[in-house]
């Protein structure tokens, strides 16, 4: 439908189409709505995209931090294991040196060469750039092997110490040397006539003649089991070594030890005298093993008389 508008004068009338006007008005009404909707959806899309980007960036950062933390933890573990291996290696070297010295002192042959334990470390160390866990496993294996060998070394050292202690005790408790410096044997061990009756008899020790007051020293370490006067022996000291051997020192003019005292080899235990049944100043020195007298001449020859 058209509307005709008449104007003054000779001007042509203006014809207006109603449908065209309505179409223009509808376009004007729809355009803001369409623009608003487009802007809304564009904003929503932008917000959604921005949020996803932020979330992705946060995830990447967190994963990077976790990787860095794992790397630092791995390095710390490697450092701790390396320090542990270093300590164990140093201890093993010290124990080896002690063992070699103890074997030498005990007169035992040198220990055989030990197998190398660093092979697992060498095998795994070159793969560090590819897999740090290989290094950790190699160091853990090496530390375990070193700890096992340290246990073996400690057992060996304990056994060597026991052997050496036994040797030292045997050496200290075995009579050796002369109990009197400057003396001489006036009566040997064995059969002899009794000096007082002249009848055949047996002398269970040796007599060492020396001036009265000459120092008498212990021939062997042990514990004093007798230190007093005993009839014909006069003033007597007996020392027991703990294994059945007893050393006896008789006819003393003085005794400086008492029963129950522990004496060492070379300890001054008394002085030469003429007490008991004696034909002159001398020391009667006697050694018994499980109650049976043995010839002490061999012990006297273990050391230089002078």
Q: Three-state SS string across 58-81, please?
A: HHHHHHHHHHHHHHHHHHHHHHHH
What does the pLDDT average to over 183-195?
Answer: 89
Q: Both tokens of residue 54? A: 């932020």
**Rounded Cα distance, 210 and 274, in Å:** 10
pLDDT at residue 304 tops 50:
no
215 phi-psi bin (left φ>0, alpha ψ -120 to 50, beta other)? beta
Phi first, then psi: give them for residue 22, nearest 5 degrees.
-65, -40
- Contacts of residue 118, Cβ cutoff 8 Å, sequence gap at least 6: 142
pLDDT at 196 over 70: yes
Residue 216 pLDDT level (bands cut at 50, 70, 90) = very high
Tens digits of residue pLDDT in 234-280:
999 999 988 889 999 999 999 999 999 999 999 999 999 999 988 89
Give me 305's structure tokens: 């008389």
Question: Cα(178)–Cα(247) distance, rounded to whole angstroms?
Answer: 12
Please determine, for residue 286, whether its predicted confidence score (pLDDT) is greater than 80: yes
Q: Is the pLDDT of residue 90 over 90?
A: no
CB of 202 closer than 8 Å to CB of 247 = no
- pLDDT tens-digit profile of 137-183? 777 777 777 778 777 777 777 777 777 777 677 777 777 789 998 88
Amino acid 57: pLDDT: 55
Length of the chain: 306
Q: Measured between alpha carbons, how far is 253 from 272 in angstroms, rounded to an integer?
A: 6
Model confidence, pTM: 0.53
Listed ranges 27-31, 52-56, 99-103, 114-118; the one with the highest mean pLDDT: 99-103
**Longest CA–CA separation in the chain, Å:** 197
- Domains, the chain, in order of start with CATH, read 84-173 (no CATH), 184-300 (2.70.70.10)
pLDDT score, position 66: 62
pLDDT tens for 41-63 read 665 565 565 554 444 556 666 76
Check residues 205 and 72 and name the one with the higher pLDDT.
205
The pLDDT of residue 305: 43
Q: What is the mean pLDDT of residues 72-92?
A: 71
Q: How many CB atoms lie within 10 A of CB 214?
A: 21
- Which residue, 225, 228, 223, is CA-closest to 262? 223
């Amino acid at each position: 439908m058209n509307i005709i508008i008449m104007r003054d004068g000779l001007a042509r009338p203006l014809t207006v189409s109603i449908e065209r006007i309505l179409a223009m008005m509808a376009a004007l009404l729809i355009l803001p709505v369409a623009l608003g909707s487009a802007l809304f959806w564009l904003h929503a899309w932008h917000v959604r995209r921005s949020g996803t980007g932020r979330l992705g960036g946060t995830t990447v950062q967190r994963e990077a931090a976790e990787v860095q933390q794992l790397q630092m933890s791995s390095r710390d573990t490697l450092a701790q294991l390396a320090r542990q291996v270093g300590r164990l290696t140093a201890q093993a070297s010290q124990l080896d040196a002690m063992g070699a010295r103890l074997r030498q002192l005990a007169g035992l042959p040198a220990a055989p060469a030990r197998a190398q334990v660093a092979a697992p470390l060498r095998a795994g160390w070159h793969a560090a750039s590819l897999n740090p866990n290989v290094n950790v496993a190699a160091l853990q294996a090496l530390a375990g092997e070193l700890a096992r060998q340290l246990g073996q070394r400690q057992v060996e050292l304990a056994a060597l110490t026991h052997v050496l202690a036994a040797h030292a005790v045997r050496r200290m408790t075995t009579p050796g040397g002369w109990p009197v410096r400057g003396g001489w044997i006036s009566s040997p061990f064995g059969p002899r006539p009794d000096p007082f009756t002249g009848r055949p008899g047996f002398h269970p020790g040796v007599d060492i003649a020396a001036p009265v007051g000459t120092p008498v020293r212990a021939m062997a370490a042990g514990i004093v089991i007798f230190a007093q006067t005993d009839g014909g022996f006069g003033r007597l000291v007996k020392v027991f070594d703990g294994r059945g051997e007893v050393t006896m020192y008789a006819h003393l003019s003085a005794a400086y030890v008492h029963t129950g005292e522990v004496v060492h080899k070379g300890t001054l235990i008394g002085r030469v005298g003429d007490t008991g049944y004696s034909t002159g100043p001398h020391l009667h020195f006697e050694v018994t093993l499980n109650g049976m007298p043995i010839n002490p001449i061999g012990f006297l020859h273990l050391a230089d008389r002078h």
